[in-house]
Structure 1
Amino acid sequence: MTADSTDASGRITLSSIASVAGVSVSTVSKVLNGRSDVSAETKGRVESVMDDLGYQRRPARRRGSVVDLVLNELDSLWSVEIIRGVDDVLDGAGASMVLSAVHGRSSNTREWLDQLAARRSNGAILVVSELTPQQRKRLVAMDIPFVLVDPVGSVDALVPTVGATNWAGAVSACEHLIGLGHQRIAHLAGPRQLLCSRARADGFHAAMERAELAVPDGWVSYGEFNDRSGRAEMTRLLDRTAARGEEPPTAVFAASDLQALGAFEVLRDRGFAIPQDVSLVGFDDLPVARWTHPALTTVRQPLLEMASMAATTLLRMIDGEHVETLRLEMATQLMVRGSTAPPVPRA
């Protein structure tokens, strides 16, 4: 057994098995669950590592478990990716999923908590606007393990969370635009109250400050993560620059792909060619990002992997396992496509 194969309590962890076997934690989980979508070679390697490390499989209590997945909305492409990732893991483990939408309203969250207690769910994955201290206290009192995905703000250190490197992703997007030669860059931000929105906006400002580039007043606009907001934000920005007699931006970084698509529509309607007149970058890498013409340059947020990791972590908690890492941040990746190019001098 290697020195780093165990956590502080001496337990052998799934992450240590994954590291030694050269696979992901979700793959180790699939092997433990007897999933068929793992190659014989990979399964053999993982099981060999388990034997070498002396990993003792615990009697699984997850089969037949009921897990609640709670989201703000169910009708967005972002939510669909989360649902797919959670369902894949739960289905392989023989667990059932109950899907709920709270629409960002605390009254709906209280109603969901009442329903949760009534159906005696085994655990919950929460992708909600806010989890109040009172709501957390009630979940703890009901002895229901839970995991937060993409938490809104500061969270108790003992609450497991899965997120993404939002700040670093925003920096990479802006540095890509700056590297192409853009100096007049605007940012269509997400909801101001969300931690991920603030992190992306902070990353934008950090990249601009590092390059010693000014951000004109009104060129950072907070909205919502949807195409309607993208249209509204882009419209306000263009109207503002026109009213001031200023040149519009040569590049726009949107905090979500859907906002970018809304901006895309407004720019096209106003006669701007993409990327010749305006380069455009999104965030998420939803499947729709590859369907635009030109295809959208964006920051890939590993939504499926985040959801899979949240579900895997929750199932381990349901089984009574110790979770060695409560704060998980999964890496983002810049996906360069056709919507960005060097700026063309304007006549």
Structure 2
Amino acid sequence: MADNLTEAPAESGQDPRDDVQGPVTVAYIAESAGVSIPTVSKVLNGRSGVSDDTRARIEELINRYGYRKPPGSRNNTVELVFRELESMWAVEIIRGVERVARKNRVGVMVSEFGLHDSSGRTLGDVTERRPRCVLSVAQLSEAERDQLKAKGIPFVVFDPTTELPDDVPFVGATNWRGGRSATRHLIELGHRRIAMIGGPEDVSCCRARLAGYGSALEAAGLSVDPSLIVHSPLTREDGCAAARELLTRPDPPTAVFAANDLQALGVYKAARELGLRIPDDLSVVGFDDLPVVAWVDPPMTTVHQPLTEMAAAATELALALGRGEQPAQAGLEIATTLTIRESTAPPKL
């Protein structure tokens, strides 16, 4: 749609600055360019909806006057907020965010402290920086979401761990489908005693993976044995402890599906300690497909969660919201796929 001109630009040779007193304002640039104030705002904030000729005219005036946005204006950055950066997850997520940010010529601000931690730093630290948008790997409380809305800062939740209201934008993965495909793979190999090391029961993605596990068993006519399900934090150490408890039972499982790759690496450690060989004595499937699991011995079968693609999609969504666009859907789930390597095999007869 063409821009509505409010008046013609200043005549050639006339410096429209001659009659200006004080600093140049957005309103003055709009008047000089012969466009509306919202049109100038779109150009200043990198938004679409402005013709190339009009954008060039506005940018020329901005450069001529040396206009700078006043303090408190939105910065040309995406704020990426983590609880912590120690996880191997972080690198894959940052890679996806950087890819989209570079394409859109915006910067990336990475915050490790989360949005409310024991150091005393709060969401106010984020809002004071006035980013174009926030991509939160740390979960947002209702109060924090309201605070961002009040400041006019759009946000997207990455891989939410709790149920969100329908109007909260998010990007996640098909966790139920991933859990189902991992378990079905083990069933098709001939395993019947398949254990599940689930994550924390209050984490929604872990519940979905567990539900997928149960669905695959039931579809194969196998009952879900609660004694083969152990919940633990999503760490290598806790995965090792859970696997040790399962594998030292009188009738241990022949296969273990872990809720994430770190837990599955803990299963590897427990198996070695107990003198079990993978996959000869025990099949193992993880979830995430972190780069490291392709290099362990044996290379791990796992559910590929496309973290980089998820982060890229979340950044595109966040930037679109920052431009004032209304996406077709607030929530997006990226498909998971099973990556079969050498940690799974038929059980011993």
CA contact (8 A) 1:185 1:215 kept: no
Structure 1 spans left out of the alignment, 5+ residues = 1-55
1:233 aligns with 2:245: no
**Quick one: distance in 1 between partners of 2:270 and 2:289?**
20
- Equivalent in the alignment of 2:197: 188
Does the residue aligned with 1:268 lie in a helix, a strand or coil? helix
Matches within 5 A, 1:278-289: 278-289=282-293
Q: Could you report, residue by residue, the CA deviation over 1:50-100 in whole angstroms, capped at 9, with x for unpaired residues?
A: xxxxxx953599x96121111122011112111111122112222111111
- Aligned residue for 1:117? 127
The aligned runs of 1:321-332 (5 Å cut-off) are: 321-332=325-336
Match of 1:336 in 2: 340
Aligned mates of 1:232, 1:313 — CA distance in 2: 39
Scaled by the length of structure 1, what TM-score is found?
0.77
Q: 1:315 aligns with which of 313, 316, 319?
A: 319
Alignment of 1:93-172 (within 5 A): 93-102=104-113, 106-107=116-117, 111-128=121-138, 130-172=139-181
Cα distance per residue 1:261-294 (max 9 Å; x no partner): 1111110221111111110000011111110121
1:238 positional shift: 2.4
Contact 1:64 1:95 in 2 (8 A): no
How far apart, in 2, do the equivalents of 1:173 and 1:229 lie?
Answer: 21
CA distance in 2, matches of 1:294, 1:107: 39
Match of residue 281 from structure 2: 277
Which residue matches 1:83?
A: 94
Whose Rg is larger?
2
Q: Could you give the per-residue CA deviations for residues 114-164 of structure 1, whole angstroms, max 9, x where no partner exists?
A: 111221222100112x32111111111111000011112221211111011
Runs of 5+ unmatched residues, structure 2: 1-46, 56-68
8 Å Cα contact 1:184/1:215 also seen in 2: no
- How far apart in 2 are the matches of 1:201 and 1:155? 19
197, 204, 210: which is aligned to 2:213?
A: 204
Q: Distance in 2 between matches of 1:109 and 1:156?
A: 29
CA distance, structure 1, for counterparts of residue 110 and residue 118 of structure 2: 13
User: TM-score when scaled to structure 2?
Assistant: 0.76
The amino acid of 1:231's aligned partner reads C
Aligned length: 283
Work out the CA distance in 1 between the residues paired with 2:191 and 2:234: 25
- Deviation at residue 110 of structure 1 after TM alignment: 7.5
Aligned AA (2:106): A
Within 2, Cα distance between the matches of 1:209 and 1:216? Answer: 11
**Where do 1:26-41 residues align within 5 Å?**
none
Tell me the amino acid that sits aligned with residue 323 of structure 2: D
User: Quick one: distance in 1 between partners of 2:200 and 2:117?
Assistant: 20
Q: Structure 1 residues 84 and 108, CA, compared in 2 at 3 Å: closer, same or farther? A: farther
CA distance in 2, matches of 1:76, 1:67: 21
